Amino acid sequence: MLKALLVDDEVNNLETLEFLIRHDCEGLEVAAKLQSAAAARDWLQSNTADVIFLDIAMPAENGFQFLNSLPVHNFKVVFCQ
């Protein structure tokens, strides 16, 4: 089972994406839903994900800035808007 991390500042987007993954993506589980790049970075310090569904436009730090702040990328990225 692959683990997905969902990162989006809008709760409705997180809920919709989680629903779609749970109903349409066999073999993929939602490991966490987070509303900021900072929270995602903290989560990744003690957890792993196979794929990150990442919002591009978030306040304070966008998706590209988040990725550039990580020393290692051991996951795939799906950009969301």
- Place domain 2-80 in its CATH homologous superfamily: Response regulator (3.40.50.2300)
Does residue 51 contact residue 28 with C-beta atoms inside 8 Å? Answer: yes
Q: What is the pTM of this model?
A: 0.95
pLDDT in tens, 27-78: 999 999 999 999 999 999 999 999 999 999 999 999 999 999 999 899 999 9
In degrees and rounded to multiples of 5, residue 27 shows phi and psi of 90, 0
The answer, yes or no, to whether residue 81 has pLDDT greater than 90, is: no
The domain locations on the chain are 2-80
Separation CA 73–CA 67 (nearest Å): 8
Separation CA 14–CA 58 (nearest Å): 13
Per-residue DSSP letter, 53: E
